[in-house]
Structure 1
Amino acid sequence: MGVRAVKPGDRQAEILACVERDGEVSVPELAERFRVSAETIRRDLAQLAATGALQKVHGGARRLRLQAEGSFEERMSEQSAEKALIARKLRGLISPGDTVFIDTGTTTLACAKALADVQRLTVITNSLHIARVLGGGQARVYLLGGIFAPDNGETVGPMALEQIAQFQADYAVIGVAALDAEAGAMDADFDEAAVARAMCARASRTIVVAGSAKFGKRALHRVCRLEEIDTLISDRAPGDAFQAALDRARVKLI
């Protein structure tokens, strides 16, 4: 009796079930289990990894451990030197008269402090912290309305998204929870990811500011693919594999 053919979608669902059950699987064992070639399994794993369903590793795949974030206050005390370096690098890109979206985050807050002396800067933000930093200086600040989320000191929700659509900016400066070569830039919070996506859509160029500790990590909600990022600013260069992915996506690393 011949082996029953399994449709690709059904096979991928079974592969994902194996990963969830065992934690990690190899290409050879999956190829033997489903009676298909190793190349077919590699394509299956690549497709599943692109959706964020699992993490593709050398020779197989493992269960995806998603990046979570602590409270705003907890994150404020983490990697302050790295955030200050990122902020100084961003300052070199922003010119007098520019219009900039800046979303909520501890790295973007550090960036806002570095931009305080830029003449005639216009900033659109959903962060109360960033509005306070820039509102008393040289910048004209538009603070987006919406549902107030007190922990991060931000506004989110449909009203914030509608107001973002009323602006057009030179740059969107976006902080993220995770960066992955296949899945792109991600956030741990649904509403924050929605705000970031909306800002990117209304800006001429997207700048992601992210510490190197976020390289190779994944979070629950995608902000954008690597190909949609114009510039990535970090505290240090990534490993060769991630750098190759940035090069393929034509992302400028600073």
Structure 2
Amino acid sequence: MKPRARQAGIADVIGQEGQMSVEDLAGRFGVSAETIRRDLAQLAEGGLVQKVHGGAKRLRLLTEGSFQDRMTENAAAKRVIADKLRQLVEPGDTLFIDTGSTTVIAAEALAPVGGLTIITNALRIAQIFAAADRGTRVFLLGGSFNPGNDQTVGPMALAQIAGFQADHAVLTVAGFDAESGATTTDFDEAQVARAMIENADQLVLLVDGSKFGRKAAFRVCPARRVDLLVTEAEPEPALAARLRAANVAWR
């Protein structure tokens, strides 16, 4: 059995059983325990299972509430993150900004800077910069409109992103883990975020402390792809060590 097929089978078995040991998986798939450990490491990195001592278990994935509810969750932490981001951005910078409660609060902090170029799929963010009237150019991406999050997604949005090159992709996610990386709960949002990353010189990820160690169904990028993690507090020591190992800087 080829590794991809075996790993798909392992993920399916763990999904059905809830948790499996390395030894049981090795016996079931007829390979060595070391091979299973490598498979589990790759599955965990892809956000498909959660590694535990001696094996792996089913990953319990996140769901998110309404956009309005998220605007009030950890609002103080998000404002700290927005203030830190403000110190990193200078007039003349070009930024991709995706949809999220954290990026909306960040947009409010950045709007007074002026002289920026903003490319976003979020109607609320476009309106914040336009209302500030500080000489910032705003490009609102077209596409399929999602009224719940006031955002555009889909093939048209992705095609338009490819027509820009930004200094920074400023993104927020539902969960961040040093092994699984950045993840989100919406497939279309993940595709937009990936496209923005590919067309930016630097990826700046805005993550409040409640999202560390959390995983959602759709992967945005591995941890090592993040250039700068902006959070409200110093990561706890174990996470900090894993971030350093992945060459992720934070502030």
* Helix, strand or coil at the partner of 1:75: helix
Structure 1, unaligned runs of 5 or more: 1-5
Distance in 2 (CA, whole Å) between partners of 1:76 and 1:69 is: 12
* Helix, strand or coil at the partner of 2:203: strand
RMSD, matched Cα: 2.0
* TM value normalised by structure 2: 0.91
Aligned length: 249
Q: Which residue of structure 1 lines up, in the alignment, with residue 185 of structure 2?
A: 188
Distance in 2 (CA, whole Å) between partners of 1:210 and 1:107 is: 8
Deviation digits for residues 115-159 of structure 1 (CA, Å, limit 9, x no counterpart):
011131111111111111111221221111111110001111111
- Counterpart check, 1:174 vs 2:184: no
Q: Which residue of structure 1 lines up, in the alignment, with residue 124 of structure 2?
A: 129
- Counterpart check, 1:232 vs 2:202: no
Deviation, structure 1 residue 13: 4.8
Distance in 2 (CA, whole Å) between partners of 1:68 and 1:132 is: 27
Distance in 2 (CA, whole Å) between partners of 1:125 and 1:37 is: 48
Deviation digits for residues 86-143 of structure 1 (CA, Å, limit 9, x no counterpart):
1011111001111111011000001001101113111111111111111122122111
Deviation, structure 1 residue 246: 1.6
Distance in 2 (CA, whole Å) between partners of 1:13 and 1:201 is: 27
Distance in 2 (CA, whole Å) between partners of 1:178 and 1:114 is: 23
Please tell me whether the aligned partners of residues 178 and 246 of structure 2 are also in contact (alpha carbons under 8 angstroms): no
1:242 is aligned, of 239, 242, 246, to 239
- Counterpart check, 1:24 vs 2:32: no
Structure 2, unaligned runs of 5 or more: none
Distance 1:190 1:32, change over 3 A: closer
Q: Which residue of structure 1 lines up, in the alignment, with residue 211 of structure 2?
A: 214
Distance in 2 (CA, whole Å) between partners of 1:204 and 1:101 is: 11
Tell me whether 225-234 or 47-56 shows the greater mean CA deviation. Answer: 47-56
Between structure 1 and structure 2, the one with the greater Rg is 1
* TM value normalised by structure 1: 0.90
Distance in 2 (CA, whole Å) between partners of 1:235 and 1:57 is: 28
Whichever residue aligns with residue 66 of structure 2, its letter is S
Alignment of 1:35-50 (within 5 A): 37-50=32-45
- The percentage of aligned residue pairs carrying the same residue is 55
* Helix, strand or coil at the partner of 2:111: coil
